[in-house]
A and B are shown apart, each in its own frame.
Chain A
Amino acid sequence: MSEGTLSRPVEEEASGSFLVELQHRLPLETYVLALTVLVWVLLAIFSPYFWTAGNITNILRQVSIDAILAFGSLFPIILAGIDLSVGSVAGLSGVVFSMLIADAGQGLLVAFIATMAMGVVIGVINGWAIDRLGIPPFIVTLAGLQGYRGLALLLSGGMTISGMPAGLQAFSLSSVAHVPTLFLLMAVIGLGAHFLLAYTRLGRYMYAIGSNAEAARRVGIRVIHVTTVAYALAAGFATLSGLLLVARLSMGSPTAATGSELQAIAAAVVGGASLFGGRGTILGCFIGALLFTTIGNGANLLGVNSFWQMVIEGLLIAFVVYFDNLQKRRQAGIG
């Protein structure tokens, strides 16, 4: 049997200096993490308030809620889909949760379970509309972005809902061995999501569908099941982050988490996820969320105009995606 040119060993491509080799092999997350560390060091130098226990704890609490939202939005992105509704679902969930407690007099547990169930149902509807009705995910979840936010405003009459039990905020401010409980909760959820993606068939099928949905179908993968689970996870995680936001602010707000869907997606992308599907990790999402949270925090501490903050974030997304493309083109030998 002739072997011909079938066999170009990959090692040949990566010849060159050690640094070039390193650049070929390290995933994008490594660079984003390095950038985050750099920002931390700079902030510690330029702001006397940055490296204080209070501020670090504050960052850890804030990043927890953002990261959970980003973890959720990663699942549809891996499928080469997108969920634009996660911010609105978080907002609606906060309203429903706080109204169940303040207006309907329900206990925390009942309100929690009912709201989580609502979130999962929303996700199942998204998955069903995308796979069964064949509506593009962008459209389905764009409808959700508008619709669920409208519902949150309708239900609450546009007003914030107060009267949360004191224990709720106490929980959001609590720590275990000096680590904020919210952060530990996020870490546990992140580990679970990472386990699902990296070690189970379900997770692998998400990557497979995102890489080549037709190939996945041809080997007998039930695309509808996997799609439904992915969007249910996105909406479920969004619901949870909405509830944690209520706990943190000790009130429900119909405009909570407005626009956060884009920051969640940006965190995933900056962390190495591809909007073309098939790529993305939970660790990367966390690093992306940490970078954005740090920039927000630093901008506040340094008194940078918050409009500039948005410009910086925009440039960052563009730069990271460009860098990632560059790296991939080099790997493919085109660049």
Chain B
Amino acid sequence: MAALLEVEGLVKSFGPVDVLHGVDLALAAGEVLALVGDNGAGKSTLIKHIAGVYRPDAGEIRLEGRPVRIETPGRARELGIETVYQDLALADELSVGANIFLGREPVRRLLGLIPVIDKARIRGETDALLARIESRIPRKAKTVSRLSGGQRQAVSIARALYWQAKVVIMDEPTAALAVMEREHVIGLARRLAAEGAGVIYIGHNLIEILEVADRVSVMYRGRIVHVTNARETNQQELIKYMTGFTEAAH
């Protein structure tokens, strides 16, 4: 397996609290790697290092074999790392297209001089993109504030698709969604992987995890304690690792 993203020996403390004690993780292109663990196991802290929100105290992150320093969320995006947050982090008062292109708007020069946002291009590309993901997000919706939770999550995922993200972090993408909408988001996660991205999928619902993931990593108290193929495990086994049952037995 050629690793797209590797995390090695990642250590992080917040003051006296050690959150990550040397985390190792490898993600391949085209796979969905689920990250599960109890609250406080360090999942969010781990992915925030990859997303450029936190900087590690020690350890290394490699992207396509090269060590990278991901100092800001902007840098993460430049490297091709996109994050889909559980809290549906979109700018409510902007349109679907404006959100997909936010921070990377195509610009044309008015009179060959003044840079203005190329709105026609944003509209065209957005329509094509929405057609591609077979999402019937209303074209006429002026702002994303009028979309449902699932539609909004589809916008975030469409953004990752459009920008051909290498690594997509999905942080509990279905947490705020109605049951019916989960299936679509899970489908989109598979779609991202099928198009060649490496997807890190954080979730609490183990049924959903086993449905979406190729592999599952279990975190317990700041370490990854178990990595397995999704097809070769079950809920009971994952819960054992998540609750530290196997740790105690050692």
A204 and B105 form a contact (CB under 8 A): yes
Query: CB of A155 within 8 A of chain B?
Result: no
Which residues of chain A are near B93, meaning CB under 8 Å? Answer: 207, 210-211, 274, 277-279
Mark A159-202 against chain B: 1 for CB-CB distance below 8 A, else 0.
00000000000000000000000000000000000000001110
A204 and B117 form a contact (CB under 8 A): yes
Query: CB of B92 within 8 A of chain A?
Result: yes
Cα(A211)–Cα(B95), bound, Å: 11
Which residues of chain A are near B184, meaning CB under 8 Å? Answer: 1-4, 6
**Central interface residue in B102, B150, B183, by most chain A CB within 10 Å:** B102
**Central interface residue in B73, B91, B116, B141, by most chain A CB within 10 Å:** B91
Contact of B136 among A7, A211, A212, A278 (CB under 8 A): A7
CB-based nearest B residue for A78: B93
Which residues of chain A are near B103, meaning CB under 8 Å? Answer: 216, 219-221
Q: How many residues of A contact B (CB 8 A)?
A: 34
Min CB gap A155→B, angstroms: 39
A11 and B138 form a contact (CB under 8 A): yes
Query: CB of A312 within 8 A of chain B?
Result: no
B136 and A6 form a contact (CB under 8 A): yes
Range for the number of chain B residues in contact with chain A: 35 or more
Query: CB of B94 within 8 A of chain A?
Result: yes
Contact of B148 among A8, A200, A212, A220 (CB under 8 A): A8
Q: A216-B102, A278-B93 are in contact. Are A4 and B180 (CB under 8 A)?
A: yes
CB-based nearest A residue for B135: A6
Query: CB of A224 within 8 A of chain B?
Result: no
Which residues of chain A are near B77, meaning CB under 8 Å? Answer: 219-220
Query: CB of B134 within 8 A of chain A?
Result: yes
Q: A1-B134, A10-B141, A218-B83 are in contact. Are A208 and B115 (CB under 8 A)?
A: no
**Central interface residue in B93, B138, B150, B151, by most chain A CB within 10 Å:** B93
CB-based nearest A residue for B179: A4
B94 and A4 form a contact (CB under 8 A): no
Query: CB of B98 within 8 A of chain A?
Result: yes
Contact of B115 among A200, A277, A279 (CB under 8 A): A200
Contact of A201 among B89, B107, B137 (CB under 8 A): B107
A201 and B141 form a contact (CB under 8 A): no
Min CB gap B91→A, angstroms: 4
Q: A8-B148, A207-B94, A212-B92 are in contact. Are A220 and B135 (CB under 8 A)?
A: no
Cα(A204)–Cα(B137), bound, Å: 22
B102 and A219 form a contact (CB under 8 A): yes
| Residues of A bordering B, CB below 8 Å | 1-11, 199-201, 204, 207-208, 210-212, 214-221, 274, 277-279, 331-332
| Other A-B pairs beyond A200-B115, A216-B103, A219-B77, 20, CB < 8 Å | A1-B187, A2-B184, A3-B135, A5-B150, A199-B116, A201-B117, A204-B94, A204-B102, A204-B117, A207-B94, A211-B91, A212-B89, A212-B90, A214-B89, A215-B89, A215-B102, A217-B73, A219-B103, A220-B75, A332-B146
| Residues of B bordering A, CB below 8 Å | 72-75, 77-78, 83, 85, 89-94, 98, 102-105, 107, 110, 115-117, 119, 134-138, 140-141, 146, 148, 150-151, 154, 178, 180-181, 183-184, 187-188, 191
Can you pick out 13 interface pairs between chain A and chain B where the beta carbons lie within 8 Å of each other?
A5-B181, A6-B136, A6-B181, A7-B136, A11-B140, A200-B116, A204-B98, A207-B91, A212-B90, A215-B91, A216-B91, A218-B73, A220-B73
